[in-house]
A and B are shown apart, each in its own frame.
Chain A
Amino acid sequence: GQQVMQIPQYQHVQEGEDFTTYCNSSTTLSNIQWYKQRPGGHPVFLIQLVKSGEVKKQKRLTFQFGEAKKNSSLHITATQTTDVGTYFCARAREYGNKLVFGAGTILRVKS
């Protein structure tokens, strides 16, 4: 139905390695949001993607929205220990009366 699937569930990388998390939906998404939650913290908004094929960058983070608007990815280049946390994608309705979150990808970084 309306769920978004995230893979992988967990990734442990060496500092400096790259990291990617994927978000997939069986239905077309009007838009997708990404959030980061540090351990013990609350979700913090990273970005919203709206257009088919959209690519946005925030420093070492690159976000993509698939051409069919059914999948999205977050790629982190050269991870740092400050990147540790859980990354969630969330599908948002056009008139946004709720967000449906994926289960998240936990990122751990070894220094």
Chain B
Amino acid sequence: GAGVSQSPRYKVAKRGQDVALRCDPISGHVSLFWYQQALGQGPEFLTYFQNEAQLDKSGLPSDRFFAERPEGSVSTLKIQRTQQEDSAVYLCASTWGGGGREYFGPGTRLLVL
């Protein structure tokens, strides 16, 4: 079956521009996670949804970052007024429930110039 998909795969933004990153989790997966991965680092947790409820957003680095999952399936991570330090790979992952293995999407590589 289809895995987690993300779009766009690559995004180049000018500093100050807003961007929106999309994640399509595996059908039926209740939990959805966003991670930020800087070059040479492990993924860092950003936020977590259970269905449409955002249960943990403690990892969002600033109020410029906003995530939603209005119907409990597709999720969007929005970054307003992008800064160069936002350049990273943004990974989405989903699971059936609250624990166990996470299925990662291919990521969106964001470059802010």
Tell whether, in the assembled complex, residue A43 and residue B98 are in contact, meaning their CB atoms are under 8 Å apart. Answer: no
Tell me the complex Cα distance, A104–B43, Å: 10
Tell whether, in the assembled complex, residue B45 and residue A42 are in contact, meaning their CB atoms are under 8 Å apart. Answer: no
Cβ-defined partner of A43 (8 Å) among B43, B55, B59, B99: B43
The interface residues of chain B lying within 8 Å CB-to-CB of A103 are 41-42
Tell me the complex Cα distance, A104–B37, Å: 12
Task: Give chain B nearest CB distance to A20 CB in angstroms.
Answer: 18
Kindly supply a per-residue 1/0 record for chain B positions 51-68, scoring 1 wherever the CB is within 8 Å of any chain A CB and 0 otherwise: 000011001000000000
Tell whether, in the assembled complex, residue B43 and residue A101 are in contact, meaning their CB atoms are under 8 Å apart. Answer: yes
Give the interface residue-count category, chain A.
20 to 34
Tell whether, in the assembled complex, residue B101 and residue A42 are in contact, meaning their CB atoms are under 8 Å apart. Answer: no
Q: Does B18 sit within 8 A of A, measured CB to CB?
A: no
Q: Does A68 sit within 8 A of B, measured CB to CB?
A: no
Chain B residues with CB under 8 Å of chain A are 31, 33, 41-45, 48, 50, 55-56, 59, 91, 93, 95, 97-107
Pick 23 A–B contacts, CB within 8 A, sort by A.
A33-B101, A33-B102, A41-B106, A42-B91, A42-B104, A43-B102, A43-B104, A45-B102, A48-B100, A48-B101, A88-B42, A90-B42, A92-B100, A95-B99, A96-B31, A98-B33, A98-B45, A98-B48, A99-B43, A100-B45, A101-B44, A102-B42, A104-B42
Chain A residues with CB under 8 Å of chain B are 33, 41-45, 48, 88, 90, 92-104
